[in-house]
Amino acid sequence: MTGLKSRADRPTGEVLGVRVSLLDMDATVKAVDELVAAAEPALVATADASGLVIAGEDERLRRAYGTAALVTADSNGVVWALRRAGHRVSRVSGVDLMDRLCRLSAEKGQRIFLLGAAPGVADQAAERLRLRHPGVNIVGTRHGYFPSDDDPLVAAEIAQAKPDLLFVAMGIPRQEVFITSTLAIHGAKVSMGVGGSFDVFSGRARRAPRLVQALKLEWLWRLILNPKKASKVMLLPRFVWLVLRQGR
Ligand code: UDP
């Protein structure tokens, strides 16, 4: 096999103690495809500024990022921190990466499981993904509202479907903790935390318009649509402060 084989071969930059991938979208899709082929269960994390701040306080998330095969720069804040350190990098968001991986999986015949979001949302996302990427093989779905005591049971349910790719949309850090603590049970070749992506694919949540994205104001858009996200958005100034302090 040619190309990127192990984590050590992939270019990364450090943000608040986490090694974040510098691969662009095309190279990331290729790297994930190689991870599926390597068939050793791997975690792919998509980290935004709030995730990196939470990792500073949450040992389980820090460990998950530390053992992940790839941690992508999911937000403009993380891209800013990497560029500030002199790296060339572009954003690889969870929703865009999941979309690309679904498209590729349809070509490759890979099996996909969707875990997370409110009851009914993963099913709706699966339906719309099947229309968007004809041939995509979604072999199972399950909502994400269950106590962590049930993690092993849910993982065993996923194992029955034998997925190559497992997308988990339960928010940071719950999704990363689920993936790493049950890796040996669910056995998916690549598992990826994708936050609110099922809400977007199902059509229940709208992505920010392109102009808002270009102005790098997606965080404000999300805050207006969902004021409950304020606690996560409030981590952004803290992230900026921590990065500036680290850089001194
Ligand atoms: N969610 C879930 N189980 C929970 C809590 C949340 O499945 O116990 C889902 C929620 O319905 C939403 C997603 O997780 O679809 C969280 O999205 P968010 O954008 O908040 O994620 P983050 O900002 O952490 O990436």
pLDDT at 196 over 80: yes
User: Quick one: which atom of ligand 1 is closest to the CA of 144?
Assistant: 7
Positive or negative, the CA dihedral 80, 175, 143, 41 is: positive
Q: Whose CA is nearest to atom 14 of ligand 1?
A: 170
Ligand 1 proximal residues by C-beta, below 6 Å:
116-118, 144-145, 169-172, 174, 195-196, 198-199, 232
Residue 181 banded pLDDT, cuts 50, 70, 90 = very high
**The pLDDT value given to residue 247:** 73
Ligand 1 pocket mutation pick from 44, 78, 174, 197 by most atoms within 8 angstroms of CB: 174
**The pLDDT value given to residue 37:** 95
**The pLDDT value given to residue 1:** 36
What mean pLDDT value characterizes the chain?
93
Q: Closest Cα partner for 190 from 61, 55, 39, 72? A: 39
Q: What is the DSSP letter of 22?
A: -
Distance (Å, rounded) from C-alpha 195 to C-alpha 1?
32
Residue 195 banded pLDDT, cuts 50, 70, 90 = very high
**pTM, full prediction:** 0.92
